Amino acid sequence: MAETEGARVTVAVEDGIAVVTVDNPPVNAISQAIRQGLIDAMAEIERNPSITAAIIIGAGRLFIAGADVREFGKPALPPTLPEAITAIEACEKPVVAAIHGVALGGGLEIALGCHYRMADPGAKLGLPEVTLGIIPGAGGTQRLPRLIGFADALDLITTGRQAGASEAAKMGLVDAVAENDLKAAAMEFIRARIGAPLPRLSAMDPPTPDSEDFFETARAGVARRARGQDSPLRALDALEAARMPFDQGVEREREIFLELRGSDQAKALRHAFFAERAVAKVPGFEAAKPRQVDAIGVIGGGTMGAGIAVASLRAGYSVTMVEADAEAMARGLGNVAKNLDGYVSRGRMSEETKAELLAKLTGAVDYGALGGADLIIEAVFEDMAVKRDVFAKLDAVAKPGAVLATNTSYLNVDEIAQATARPGDVLGLHFFAPAHIMRLLEIVRAGATAPDVIATGFAVGRKLGKVAVLSGVCDGFIGNRILAKFRQQADAMIEDGALPWEVDSAMEAFGMAMGPFKVMDLSGLDISWAMRKRQTATRPAEERYVAIADRICEAGWLGRKTGRGWYLYEDGKPSPNPDVETIIIEESTKKGIARRQFSAQEIQDRILHAMINEGARIVEEGIAARPLDVDMVEIMGYGFPRWRGGPMCAADIIGLDKVLGKIREYAGEDAFYWAPAPLLQRLVAEGKTFADLNRG
C-alpha cells in the first residue's frame, strides 16, 4: 500500500459539530499526513467558535487500522502519534470516536485519546501490536487499563485479539453501540455532552490490580503462551507501568516500544504480516480470473473429506459428498455432523446455523451426483492407482469447465491429471488435517493447469479463510518436502546420540508448536512408514538411511492411536518410551556409531539449516515462487514460530554467509545430505538476501 497522494484529514462543520474524517485508503493507516492532519483539525476546532463538539470518523470501510506498518523500518517523521493523541485529548470541546470496521493499534489509541467512543455493531477493536513484535506505543498500555481495568487490558494487549462491539461495550471500552447510522448517532451522542466535564483517561488515577500477585501470575501465563516471543511479555511490562503516574508510565511504554521496533522479532513478524498478503499475489497470475464456484463436490468422507466439507459449508458453499457405499456415506455425513457439533458445543455456532449448513449437504454413492459441482475435491486413499481411477470416473461426469482437485499430499499431480481428458482443469488442493481448522492450503500447479484454474483455487481458498500458497509438482510439494528433510536430520541426530524427547524439547524451545517426534505420534507412524517403503526402490545409494522408525513400526507402536510410539500415552500424556531408547542404542551400535551429546542449540541449528537449504532448492527449482511462499507454508501449516518469520526470513536474519558456512561445516560429515543449495551459494556470492528475491 503506497502512501496515497490523497492521505488527509478533513473537517466539515455540521450543525456546530465538527466531523473530522480520516481518509487514507485502503485502511486509513496513520501516516505522517494523518498525524499532522489530526493536530491541525484539533487546532481548528479549538479556534473556531461556531464548533461546539467533534466526532472523528474514518472514510471508507473502516475507522483506522493503525500505524502504517511500512513506515516502521524507516526513520519516524514528526509529529509523533502520541503528540497527535495528546492534542485530541487536550481539546476543550468534547470529542467522540465513531468507530466502524476496525479500530486497531494506533487507531484504537486515537479512540482512547478521544473523550468518548461509539461503535457500529459490526466494529472490531484491538491492539494487535504484539502480533507485529512491538507494543502499543502511543499510550494504549496506559489509557486502556484506566478505562477497562487491568484484567481485560491484559487479555487484549498481550494477545492482540480483537473484541467485537458488544463485547467492547460490556468491557466499557466503548460508551455506546450505534443502532443505525453511526455518524448521526455519534453526533447526537456528543451534542448531549456539550458542557459536561471532559473525561480524559490520562488524568485518571492508575487502576488497582485484582489481586496482589496479579502481575506475577499473569507473567507466568503470558510466558507460556508466548513460546519465546518477546513482545507479549514486554507488553505486560508496559501494562504494569500503568500503576505509576501517567507521564511516567507513558515514558516507560515509549522506551519499550522503541526498543522492540528495531528488533529481529519485529522484523520477522512484519515480514510474516506482508507475506501472508503477498502469497495470493503470485507473479504471472495477476490477469487470471477465477471461475465461478457455488457448488463443491467432495469425494471421500473420512477425516480429510469431512473436514473439507465442513470448511466449504461454513464458507457458504453447497456440498455434495460422494462415498463408495451407503455405510461409508453414513459415516462421512456423521463425521461432518460431529465436526459441526464441536462448534455448537463450544458456543461458536447456533443449532439453527448447524441445521442450515447440514441442509446444504447432500450425500451420494454415485459419481453422477457430482454433475452440478463447479469444483470437485478428491480426498480418497493416498494411492496413485486409486486416485487415477477416481479422476477417470470424474472425467465422465463433471460438467465442462468444472475444476477438478486432488488433495494428495505427495503424489504426482501431473500423473493424476493425465487420467482425464482435461488436464487443464486439474490442480492439487492440499489441505492439512483437520481441514476445517488448519489455515494452510497448498495449491499445486501441474504442468497443464490453466491459469484461471489456479486463480479459482486462490479465490476458493480465500473464501474458506485459508492462507493459500502456490506450489509446483515435486515429492511432498513445499511443506512435506521440507518436513522430510527435517525428519531425516532428526533421525540422524537420534542415531548419533540425541534422544527423541531431547530433539522435541529443543524444537519446542525454538518455538515450534510441537516437537517432530510428538507430531509423528499424533499423525500415526504408519503413514511415513508406507512412504519410506514406497521410496525404497528409488532411494539414492548415497543417502543415509536410519531404520529406527521402521523398527518401532515393526513392533506395532504406531503412535497415539496404539497407545505407544516414540512416547507412551498411559494417562493420555506423553512420557518417553524406554523401549524406544533401547532400539535407538541397538541401531547406533549396529552401525558402529559412538553416541555423543547434542546441545539444544545444536539440535535447533541443524534442523533449521536443513530446512533453509531445502527451502532454497525449492525456490531455485521454481516449486515455490518466492522465499516468502516457503515461509508462509512453514508458519501456517507446520508450526514454525511466526516470530522467526519462517526459515528463509530466519536465514536472512542470521546472515546468509553464516548459514552457508554452517552448512559447509555439516557437509564435512554427510556431503550428500548437506550439499549446499546452489541458490544459497549464489546469493552469498552476490551479497544478496532472500528478501531481495521476495521483492522480485
- Chain residues binding ligand CAA by CB under 6 A are 1, 26-27, 29, 65-70, 81, 102, 104-106, 109, 128-129, 132, 136-138, 277
Retrieve residue 582's grid coordinates: 533401547
Least Å from the CB of residue 26 to ligand CAA: 5
Strands 8-14 and 17-23, bridge-based pairing: antiparallel
φ, ψ for residue 162 (rounded to 5)? -100, 140
Least Å from the CB of residue 590 to ligand CAA: 54
Nearest Cα to 309, choosing from 290, 283, 337? 337
Beta bridge partner(s), residue 23: 8
Least Å from the CB of residue 583 to ligand CAA: 48
Q: Which is nearer to ligand CAA, 34 or 306 (CB)?
A: 34
Least Å from the CB of residue 184 to ligand CAA: 25
- Give catalytic status of residue 129 as yes or no: yes
Q: Which is nearer to ligand CAA, 20 or 67 (CB)?
A: 67
Instruction: Give the H or E element holding residue 320.
Output: strand 318-322
φ, ψ for residue 163 (rounded to 5)? -105, 140
Q: Which is nearer to ligand CAA, 233 or 509 (CB)?
A: 233
Q: Which is nearer to ligand CAA, 458 or 666 (CB)?
A: 458
Q: Which residue is nearest to ligand CAA (CB)?
A: 105
Q: Distance of CA 172 to CAs 116, 370, 407, 596, Å?
A: 11, 51, 47, 59
Burial class (CB in 10 A: 0-12, 13-18, 19+), 476: buried
Spatial separation of the C-alpha atoms in residues 428 and 454, rounded to whole Å: 9
Q: Which is nearer to ligand CAA, 470 or 483 (CB)?
A: 470
Q: b/e map of 248-285 (b: 16 or more CB within 10 Å)? A: ebbebbbebbeebbebbbbbbbbbbbebbebbbebeeb
Q: Distance of CA 547 to CAs 217, 476, 673, Å?
A: 45, 21, 16
Q: Which is nearer to ligand CAA, 26 or 368 (CB)?
A: 26
Q: Which is nearer to ligand CAA, 231 or 528 (CB)?
A: 231
- Give catalytic status of residue 92 as yes or no: no
Handedness of CA 253, 258, 262, 267 (dihedral sign): positive
Which residue is catalytic, options 89, 109, 442, 634? 109
Least Å from the CB of residue 205 to ligand CAA: 24
Least Å from the CB of residue 106 to ligand CAA: 3
Spatial separation of the C-alpha atoms in residues 28 and 337, rounded to whole Å: 42
SS3 content of the chain, % helix, strand, coil (to 5): 55, 10, 35
Least Å from the CB of residue 219 to ligand CAA: 23
Instruction: Give the residue carrying C-alpha cell 466449504.
Output: 312
Least Å from the CB of residue 104 to ligand CAA: 4
Spatial separation of the C-alpha atoms in residues 45 and 39, rounded to whole Å: 10
Helix 303-314 / helix 326-345 crossing angle, nearest 10 deg: 50
Nearest Cα to 163, choosing from 99, 95, 218, 243? 99
Spatial separation of the C-alpha atoms in residues 681 and 261, rounded to whole Å: 31
Least Å from the CB of residue 110 to ligand CAA: 9
Q: Which is nearer to ligand CAA, 260 or 659 (CB)?
A: 260
Strands 53-58 and 95-99, bridge-based pairing: parallel
Which residue is catalytic, options 89, 129, 378, 502? 129
Answer for the pair 239, 129: CB distance below 8 angstroms, yes or no.
no
Q: Which is nearer to ligand CAA, 237 or 581 (CB)?
A: 237
Spatial separation of the C-alpha atoms in residues 116 and 96, rounded to whole Å: 5
Spatial separation of the C-alpha atoms in residues 659 and 608, rounded to whole Å: 10
Burial class (CB in 10 A: 0-12, 13-18, 19+), 540: exposed
User: Which residues does the annotation mark as catalytic?
Assistant: 109, 129
